[in-house]
């Protein structure tokens, strides 16, 4: 049986997820993914009548249980500086990150 | 050489002018505030926080949908659009994907040639804005003040054909947004942002060729310049036997050029799925009806009605419907006046607009209300003051807040229409200027205007021009 | 009776009356912690010593000073005659997946190890407002991803107080262990697939997964947003009810928190269970899982001792006049794990997108040329294998071209799982049960390192608990007896949406009826 997640597909997922792995880690992760997919494939055997809708939440919300939308009233946060203090690199109130290169068109 | 047709679709992001952000209670408008001062755990995507939808954002988005003839869905959903970018603190943007607030629709845009182009709306949904980044000294500076401001993303079909048409679309959209009172629509401040999808095809073809997406075309001028530049580039590529590739381009306004964005950043699979932190947005029919009922007459319809109902030339109607307060000002004045709407239009187009523009305020903020304007026009009509006095009177009303009649009375501005007083003035001027009288009598009848001016000066502008002209002519021709 | 041998309910009453000070309670708890807990979890812990292997290691961060401040505040209020809350002076631990302002909130991950939360989770805020003394943050599987607490980046990971060679379960392993070892009387946990109930069963304590939306998720560092439920871990049913009362209810910071009124849970406790209908389902007496080699499905009956404990509980309730309804079909139970493998991963991958080294938490210390490389290195170094596994799976099953096949299908299977419960609880239906009675877990606590690393087998530890998360319904795990090797066995009641009262009522009745049972006398190893 060939693996559903091939090394190539795995590399693509790694790229999407912004990861980088050494070969051992990659082997372990790819093997576990393929094993999990074997379990997931059980879902294909489930008889699913057309009238079964997807459930984004298990509990159904009603007009009585659903919260109202938020009124448009300003309530400022009292400690924005504590949020900023969590950032690894800050300069003059800005959070600093490395640059994103661009190519100029001729 | 092949002739090409250009196919343009616009993707606009419209900042709604709510008080607070879409999912938290930070201010929506923090223009020029210190970086990262208008932030909270929610809009900076701290671990554990949850979004709570702002009702006003929904109401304003729905109003725009109504104006675009979109179906306002009674049940719509929010979805997560997942991608990495430093201005996107959660690593996903809460947006609406397949079941958005608005469904379909169109926007009629009058073009300079008089035709109206119907531009289809293919997407109209609510989402949150990202933060701002700027690039300096080889790094990127991130500010989340703007992060989470409510946006409507509105996307057109490939219905525009020239850079100028694209510009017109934006001009009319900006007008509409302000008209509806849902966005300040100031492009410089990023309230209205635009990306343009551009492709070309030989004239006569109906295929949609590979398009490029130009990001950050954020002024009317930039839209024209960037699209024209890209059309030129695409034609060159095709003419030289190449193929246009589906690039994402970044418009660099400062250098007037397009930069290609790195493909890795753009070939995204956003892996949309329903935002589990928000429940479906459910609106009642009564609520939707309320939105539809509150939709005002739109600029284009009002323009047509002004032409029809008040017999205004298109030029006047267009200017008078430039913004909603102005159009309401005009209509209130016409109603109060009862006379020729064109006369009211002339007064507004010449005098009131100049005053409004100089003051930099909107028509409904003028102290010179439509009723006061009409009172002044009537004083002119009845000959109490002359036209020139009428014009200067408007400024005095605006400045003092007093009624035109009060000012005329207090300053003695009523025009001199007493024959004998005027005749005295004329006699005095003729006596003082014998050379000019002789010239006039020698055939230089153009000097009449000069004599009119002298009389006006003598009477400090209050002379009834009609009567002055008659008396002057009689006197100068020696008939007096 | 030693302070910590009393219930939270009784301690709070004594503190309220001034018979006991909150500081005395705190001191007793701190003393217990220093006796049994050993070294707190840390990122750079080397090999374990023999002594380490005999300690509980529930804590990541002990905030004794903060707790003392809370205790002194409670005592000052009592002295000045002000009212104090229903949890006055009760020592509480908080799973380190909740934010508490000014304290490290790590999610047991290197990527958040240095994150100091600038705000407090709603549930914690409410518990402290009710007088609870938060002792600190307790260990869990990294980002809650596991059923043994072994995947924590903070080692030593928590060990089972009944047998320290065994896991406490997970992911709320620190919560369950800290209550079982008497370090705290209450703990705030989270349950996404069984993460409260499974460790409660393994550690012989009470754990409740409330109805989805019953307790606000604000400040709960998200795993599966449509599944996550904060809930109480306690040593008895009354305390769990007391704790839920203090934290349940609508929250303007959580749109998914229900507006349903919060009943008086304590009032349900004494009610007679006579005439109540309790369902048993054969589908909860077995587990189904794919053979790791062939992928073939293996169906296996649960161990006899676990089945027996459940049936014994049914007999106890029958003896109290409840009606036992056998053979309630729950045919989609076996699909709970496969569907969970998809749904939770999609949500998790998205929820973990935000950890990128930009705004908070870990940023790689090595060099990077550009933003993308910074992201990659940060995430590669900051996340352990279990989060990485979940992210990659989430990426795969929600990719545009696979989403229909996997994610959309899993959401529809979720509807089927829900429909099993709807049918069982339907008052007009054939079964019309008030609650289902099931085992909580397929096994008792397993040996450390036995399953760790096998992500499939580990997940199947949740097979009997995860259906309630899919369906959103509440479930409670109670100590139901001891296995022959002396390890606790958990039994589970499942009830309709917002019927936590039913769970407390049944739980209390069972607890009262078995108060004199021999197995109730057993004490965890670390307390002997």
Q: What is the DSSP track for A20-85? A: ---HHHHHHHHHHHHHHHHHHGGGGGS---TT----SSSSPP-TTTSPPPBP------S-HHHHHT
Exposed/middle/buried for residue B103 (C-beta within 10 Å: 0-12, 13-18, 19+) = middle
Give the nearest partner residue to A46 out of C335, C337, C359, using CB atoms: C335
C195 is catalytic: yes
pLDDT band at A105 (very low <50, low <70, confident <90, very high): low
Spell out the residues 6+ positions from residue C220 whose beta carbon is closer than 8 angstroms to its own: B48, C97, C98, C121, C123, C190, C228, C230
Contacts of B273 in chain C (CB under 8 A): 346-347, 350, 398, 403, 407
CB contact under 8 A, A55 and C395: no
pLDDT of residue B263: 56
pLDDT band at A106 (very low <50, low <70, confident <90, very high): very low
Count B/C contacts: CB-CB distance under 8 Å: 104
Distance from CA of A73 to the nearest CA of B (A): 6
In tens, the pLDDT along B79-138 reads 999 999 999 999 999 999 999 999 999 999 998 888 899 999 999 999 999 999 998 888
β-pairing verdict for C323-325 and C277-279: parallel
CA C281 to each of CA A8, B459, C332, C416, C491: distance values in angstroms, whole numbers, following the listed order: 44, 108, 12, 16, 13
Q: Is B321 in contact with B299 (CB distance < 8 Å)? A: yes
What percentage of chain C exceeds 70 in pLDDT?
100
pLDDT of residue B218: 86
pLDDT of residue B417: 66
Q: Is C139 in contact with C176 (CB distance < 8 Å)? A: no
pLDDT higher than 60, residue C347 = yes
Picking from A44, A21, A43, the residue whose alpha carbon sits closest to that of residue A32 is: A21
Q: Is B128 in contact with B144 (CB distance < 8 Å)? A: no
- Within 406-445 of B, beta carbons closer than 8 Å to A belong to none
Contacts of A25 in chain C (CB under 8 A): 385, 388
CB contact under 8 A, C256 and B276: yes
End-to-end distance of chain A based on CA atoms, in angstroms?
A: 50
Neighbours of B391 (CB within 10 A): 16
- Within 5-44 of A, beta carbons closer than 8 Å to C belong to 5, 9-10, 13-14, 16-21, 25, 28-29, 32-33, 35-36, 38-44
CB of A87 within 8 Å of a chain C CB? The answer is yes
Give the nearest partner residue to C255 out of B52, B82, B140, using CB atoms: B52
C171 is catalytic: yes
Whole-angstrom Cα distance, residue C352 to residue C395?
11
pLDDT of residue C373: 94
C55 is catalytic: no
CB of B371 within 8 Å of a chain A CB? The answer is no
Complex ipTM, two decimals? Answer: 0.96
CB contact under 8 A, B271 and C400: yes
Spell out the residues 6+ positions from residue B437 whose beta carbon is closer than 8 angstroms to its own: B430, B476
In tens, the pLDDT along C49-92 reads 999 999 999 999 999 999 999 999 999 999 999 999 999 999 99
How does DSSP assign C475-517, residue by residue?
EEEEEEEE-TTS-EEEEEEE-STT-HHHHHHHHHHHHHHTTT-
pLDDT of residue A48: 92
pLDDT higher than 90, residue C293 = no
Residues lower than pLDDT 70 in chain B:
1, 262-268, 415-417, 479-480
- Within 113-142 of C, beta carbons closer than 8 Å to A belong to 115-116, 118
Task: Spot the catalytic one: C14, C95, C137, C209.
Answer: C95
Picking from A3, A52, A99, A77, the residue whose alpha carbon sits closest to that of residue B137 is: A99
Distance from CA of B19 to the nearest CA of C (A): 18
CB contact under 8 A, C407 and B273: yes
CB of C256 within 8 Å of a chain B CB? The answer is yes
pLDDT of residue A1: 52
How does DSSP assign C288-333, residue by residue?
EEE-TTT--EEEEEPPHHHHHHHHHHHHHHHHTTPEEE-----TTG
pLDDT of residue B338: 92
Give the nearest partner residue to C414 out of A14, A55, A82, using CB atoms: A55
Contacts of A57 in chain B (CB under 8 A): 276, 279
* Chain A interface test: which of C249, C420, C455 (most A C-beta within 10 Å): C455
How does DSSP assign C365-405, residue by residue?
SS--SSHHHHHHHHHHHHS-HHHHHHHHHHHHHTSTTTTII
pLDDT higher than 80, residue C221 = yes
Task: Spot the catalytic one: C105, C171, C187, C235.
Answer: C171
pLDDT of residue B284: 96
pLDDT higher than 90, residue C476 = yes
pLDDT of residue B137: 87
Q: A3-7, C19-23, C35-39: which range is least confident on average?
A: A3-7
Contacts of C352 in chain B (CB under 8 A): 91
Q: Phi first, then psi: give them for residue C190, nearest 5 degrees.
A: -135, 150
Spell out the residues 6+ positions from residue B438 whose beta carbon is closer than 8 angstroms to its own: none
- Within 48-107 of B, beta carbons closer than 8 Å to A belong to 52-58, 84, 86
What percentage of chain A exceeds 70 in pLDDT?
93
Global pTM reads 0.92
* Average pLDDT of the residues in C296-302: 89
Distance from CA of B86 to the nearest CA of C (A): 7
Averaged pLDDT of chain C: 96
């Amino acid at each position: 049986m060939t693996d559903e997640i091939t090394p190539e597909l795995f590399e693509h997922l790694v790229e999407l997820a912004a990861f980088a792995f050494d070969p051992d880690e990659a082997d372990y992760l790819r093997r576990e993914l393929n094993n999990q997919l074997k379990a997931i494939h059980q879902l294909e055997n489930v008889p699913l009548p057309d009238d079964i809708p997807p459930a984004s939440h298990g509990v159904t919300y009603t007009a009585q249980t659903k919260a109202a939308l938020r009124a448009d009233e300003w309530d400022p946060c009292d400690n924005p500086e504590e949020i900023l203090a969590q950032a690894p690199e800050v300069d003059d109130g800005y959070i600093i990150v490395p640059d994103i290169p661009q190519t100029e068109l001729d | 050489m092949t002739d090409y047709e250009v196919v343009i679709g616009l993707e606009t992001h419209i900042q709604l002018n709510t008080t607070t952000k879409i999912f938290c209670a930070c201010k929506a408008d923090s223009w020029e505030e210190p970086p990262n001062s208008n932030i909270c755990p929610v809009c900076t995507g701290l671990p554990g926080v949850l979004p709570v939808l702002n009702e006003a954002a929904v109401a304003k988005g729905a109003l725009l949908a109504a104006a675009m003839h979109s179906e306002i869905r009674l049940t719509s959903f929010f979805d997560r659009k997942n991608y990495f970018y430093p201005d996107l603190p959660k690593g996903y943007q809460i947006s609406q994907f397949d079941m958005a607030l608005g469904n379909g629709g169109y926007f009629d845009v009058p073009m300079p040639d008089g035709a109206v182009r119907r531009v289809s709306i293919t997407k109209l949904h609510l989402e949150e804005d990202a933060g701002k980044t700027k690039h300096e000294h080889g790094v990127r500076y991130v500010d989340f003040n703007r992060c989470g401001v409510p946006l409507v993303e509105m996307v057109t079909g490939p219905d525009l054909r020239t850079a100028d048409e694209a510009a017109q679309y934006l001009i009319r959209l900006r007008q509409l947004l302000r008209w509806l009172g849902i966005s300040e629509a100031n492009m410089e401040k990023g309230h209205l942002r635009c990306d343009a999808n551009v492709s070309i095809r030989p004239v006569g073809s109906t295929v949609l060729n590979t398009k490029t997406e130009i990001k950050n075309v954020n002024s009317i001028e930039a839209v024209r310049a960037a699209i024209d530049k890209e059309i030129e580039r695409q034609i060159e590529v095709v003419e030289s036997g190449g193929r246009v590739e589906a690039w994402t381009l970044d418009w660099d306004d400062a250098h007037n050029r397009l930069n290609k964005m790195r493909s890795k950043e753009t070939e995204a699979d956003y892996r949309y799925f329903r935002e589990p932190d928000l429940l479906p947005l459910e609106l009642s029919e009564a609520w939707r009806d309320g939105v539809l009922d509150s939709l005002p007459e739109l600029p284009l319809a009002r323009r047509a009605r002004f032409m029809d109902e008040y017999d205004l030339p298109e030029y006047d109607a267009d200017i008078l419907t430039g913004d909603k307060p102005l159009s309401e000002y005009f209509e209130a004045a016409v109603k109060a006046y009862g006379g020729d709407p064109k006369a009211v239009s002339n007064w507004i187009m010449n005098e009131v607009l100049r005053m409004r523009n100089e003051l930099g305020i909107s028509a409904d903020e003028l102290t010179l209300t439509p009723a006061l304007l009409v009172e002044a026009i009537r004083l002119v009509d009845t000959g109490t003051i002359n036209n020139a006095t009428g014009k200067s009177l408007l400024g005095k009303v605006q400045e003092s807040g007093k009624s035109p009649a009060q000012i005329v009375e207090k300053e003695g501005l009523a025009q001199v229409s007493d024959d004998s007083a005027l005749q005295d003035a004329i006699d005095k001027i003729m006596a003082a200027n014998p050379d000019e009288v002789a010239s006039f009598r020698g055939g230089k009848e153009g000097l009449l205007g000069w004599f009119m001016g002298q009389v006006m000066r003598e009477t400090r502008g209050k002379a009834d021009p009609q009567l002055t002209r008659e008396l002057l002519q009689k006197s100068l021709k020696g008939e007096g | 009776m030693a302070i910590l041998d009393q219930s939270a309910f009784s301690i709070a009453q004594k503190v309220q009356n001034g018979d006991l000070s909150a500081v005395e309670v705190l001191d007793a708890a701190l003393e217990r912690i220093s006796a049994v807990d050993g070294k707190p979890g840390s990122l750079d812990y080397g090999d374990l010593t023999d002594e380490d292997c005999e300690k509980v290691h529930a804590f990541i961060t002990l905030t004794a000073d903060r707790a003392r401040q809370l205790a002194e505040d409670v005592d000052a209020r009592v002295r000045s005659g002000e009212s104090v809350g229903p949890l006055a002076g009760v020592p509480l631990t908080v799973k380190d997946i909740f934010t508490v302002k000014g304290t490290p909130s790590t999610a047991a991950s290197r990527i958040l190890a240095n994150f100091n939360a600038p705000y407090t989770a709603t549930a914690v805020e409410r518990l402290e407002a009710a007088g609870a003394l938060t002792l600190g943050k307790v260990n869990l599987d990294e980002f809650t991803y596991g059923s043994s607490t072994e995947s924590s980046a903070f080692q030593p990971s928590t060990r089972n107080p009944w047998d320290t060679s065994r896991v406490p379960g997970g992911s709320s392993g620190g919560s369950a262990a800290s209550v079982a070892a008497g370090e705290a009387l209450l703990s705030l946990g989270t349950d996404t697939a069984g993460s409260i109930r499974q460790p409660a069963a393994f550690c012989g304590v009470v754990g409740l997964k409330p109805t989805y939306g019953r307790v606000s998720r604000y400040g709960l560092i998200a795993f599966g947003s449509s599944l996550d439920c904060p809930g109480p871990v306690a040593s008895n049913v009354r305390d769990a009810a007391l704790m839920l009362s203090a934290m349940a209810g609508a929250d303007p910071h959580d749109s998914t928190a229900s507006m349903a009124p919060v009943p008086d849970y304590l009032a349900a406790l004494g009610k007679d269970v006579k005439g109540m209908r309790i369902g048993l389902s054969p589908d909860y007496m077995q587990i189904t899982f794919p053979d790791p080699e062939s992928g073939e499905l293996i169906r296996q009956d649960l161990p006899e001792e676990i089945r027996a404990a459940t049936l014994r509980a049914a007999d106890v309730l029958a003896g109290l006049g409840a009606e036992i309804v056998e053979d309630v079909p729950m045919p989609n139970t076996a699909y709970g794990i496969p569907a969970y493998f998809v749904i939770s991963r999609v949500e998790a991958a998205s929820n973990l997108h935000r950890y990128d080294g930009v705004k908070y938490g870990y940023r790689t210390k090595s060099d990077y040329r550009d933003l993308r490389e910074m992201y990659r290195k940060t995430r590669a170094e900051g996340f352990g294998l279990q989060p990485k596994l979940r992210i990659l799976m989430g990426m795969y099953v929600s990719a545009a071209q696979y989403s229909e096949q996997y994610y959309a299908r899993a959401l529809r299977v979720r509807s089927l799982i829900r429909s099993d419960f709807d049918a069982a609880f339907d008052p007009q239906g054939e079964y019309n049960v008030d609650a289902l009675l099931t085992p909580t877990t397929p096994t008792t606590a397993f040996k450390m390192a036995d399953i760790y690393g096998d992500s499939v087998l580990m997940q199947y530890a949740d097979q009997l608990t995860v259906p309630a998360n899919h369906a959103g319904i509440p479930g409670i795990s109670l100590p139901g007896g001891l296995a022959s090797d002396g390890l606790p066995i958990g039994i589970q009641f499942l009830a309709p949406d917002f019927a936590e009262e039913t769970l407390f009522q049944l739980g209390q009745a069972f607890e009262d009826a078995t108060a004199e049972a021999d197995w109730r006398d057993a004490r965890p190893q670390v307390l002997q």
